[in-house]
Structure 1
Amino acid sequence: MRKGELTKEQIIQKSAALFNQQGYNGVSLNDITEMTGIKRGGLYRHFASKDEIALLAYDYASEVVRDKFLQAQADKQTAKDKLLSFFEVYADVVHNPPFTGGCPMLNTAVECDDGHRLLREKAQTTFRHFYRAIQEILEQGIQNGEFRSDLNIESTASFLISALEGSIVLSKLEENSRHVRYSMENMAQYLELIGLKN
């Protein structure tokens, strides 16, 4: 990687942590220059605007989390264990999140609900991929005989994401990761129930 490309990548990575912790509106170009040690003119050599940095930073943060999910699933044999691995990644969201500041999709969705359209679209795309990935695992579980054949895959995937993201919010609010652990325990019980034969 050439020096200019390396510098650009470092700016994206460091800015991603800032944006995920403080939000788009909470980060200024001055904050980015302080974090990276690169002057404003240097930033403009690599990026056209704060928007461009923010969008690339979001892509980087969400890719890091996606890779952590894939790593957590790599050694799992059953659909149930693969689904619970999403909670494992966030099991200590307060002290050891998969990315600084917590879930990029969640943080961006909350901040940009009625604000930054392009960032909101990024979060929507992440959600669609996440939603589909969970549905595919549920489909595998049905094919493997782990889950009932009449399982509503869409609603179950929605329920799992809601339980995960909601527990992340509560854990971060209370500064105690117990809510993610509670959700994981209850999701494990739920997955046992949907595994019961008709």
Structure 2
Amino acid sequence: MYKSPIKKVQKTQTVQYMKDEAVSKSDLTRQMILEKSAVLFNLQGYSGTSMKDIMNATGLSKGGLYGNFKTKEDIALAAYDQAVDTVWEEVKKRTKVIDHSLDKLKAVVYFYKERILDPPVEGGCPIQNTAIDADDGNPILRDKVRNTVDNWRRNIVTNLERGMKSGEVRLDCNASDFAIKFIGILEGGIMLSRLYKELHYFDVIAKQLIDLIEELRA
């Protein structure tokens, strides 16, 4: 009995389409969970956020959540990545159009000045919030934040070393130490402004940081 190869191909394509559609829906559900959870964890912390909170925010049952993540900790870790990536993408939009090494750093300062009271992720800086929350709590989350800060420091060091090679940055610049100062001062300014809900506190810090950046100009 003759079987048309066309029908066989069509059937295969239909099955593949159904599989792709299922994967797409699963990806969308997972992304929705992360976006909702990122805000919850950023506002309430790990201990302060229950699975019930996540269920209410996402509209999913416990089975719906566990169908995408094994544990609450898995959700928290992935949600933290989601929150940090959201901030980094906003920062990169500012820095990628700038060539000068020091002006890139200044652009980061100006970004936070503009968004300090209207952050990309509700609740403020996810790095700072999670670092404080996990300090004496979840060691896996703490290591996650440390890895983020380590990468941030390396990026600053790479940027400054590139600037030294191109003649933009003074050769006596200690890139590693400056990266630590940059992050510490910036995060301190964020904390004070968020605490008092006033931009003035960050303005004071930002001016000092901009002055330090300018001192490195060759």
TM-score range, shorter chain: over 0.9
The answer for the alignment partner of 2:185 in structure 1 is 163
Residue correspondence of structure 1 range 181-192 to structure 2 within 5 A: 181-192=203-214
Q: Deviations over 1:122-175 (max 9, x none)?
A: 101100110001111111221222221111111111111111100000010011
Tell me by how many angstroms 1:94 deviates: 4.4
Q: Which 4+ runs in 1 deviate beyond 6 A?
A: none
The answer for the alignment partner of 2:147 in structure 1 is 125
Max radius of gyration: which structure? 2
Q: Does 1:173 align with 2:198?
A: no
Q: Does 1:46 align with 2:84?
A: no
Backbone CA RMSD of aligned residues = 1.5
The answer for the alignment partner of 1:65 in structure 2 is 87
Counterpart residue type for residue 179 of structure 2: A
Q: Does 1:14 align with 2:42?
A: no
The answer for the alignment partner of 1:194 in structure 2 is 216
Structure 1 residues without counterparts, runs of 5 or longer: none
In the superposition, the TM-score normalised over structure 2's length comes to 0.85
Counterpart residue type for residue 157 of structure 1: A
Counterpart residue type for residue 60 of structure 2: I
Q: Does 1:135 align with 2:153?
A: no
Structure 2 residues without counterparts, runs of 5 or longer: 1-22
Tell me by how many angstroms 1:88 deviates: 2.1
In the superposition, the TM-score normalised over structure 1's length comes to 0.93
Q: Deviations over 1:13-48 (max 9, x none)?
A: 110111011111111111111111112221122111
Distance 1:180 1:144 in 2: 31
Distance 2:115 2:200 in 1: 9
Alpha-carbon spacing, 1:76–1:42, altered in 2? closer, same or farther (3 Å)? same
The answer for the alignment partner of 1:4 in structure 2 is 26
Aligned with residue 107 of structure 2, among 58, 79, 85: 85
Tell me by how many angstroms 1:182 deviates: 2.4
Aligned with residue 135 of structure 2, among 91, 108, 113: 113
Instruction: Give the % identical residues.
Output: 37
The answer for the alignment partner of 1:150 in structure 2 is 172
Distance 1:73 1:93 in 2: 15
Confirm or deny: 8 A CA contact 1:69 1:89 kept in the other structure.
yes
Q: Name the count of aligned residue pairs.
A: 196
Confirm or deny: 8 A CA contact 1:87 1:181 kept in the other structure.
no
The answer for the alignment partner of 2:7 in structure 1 is none
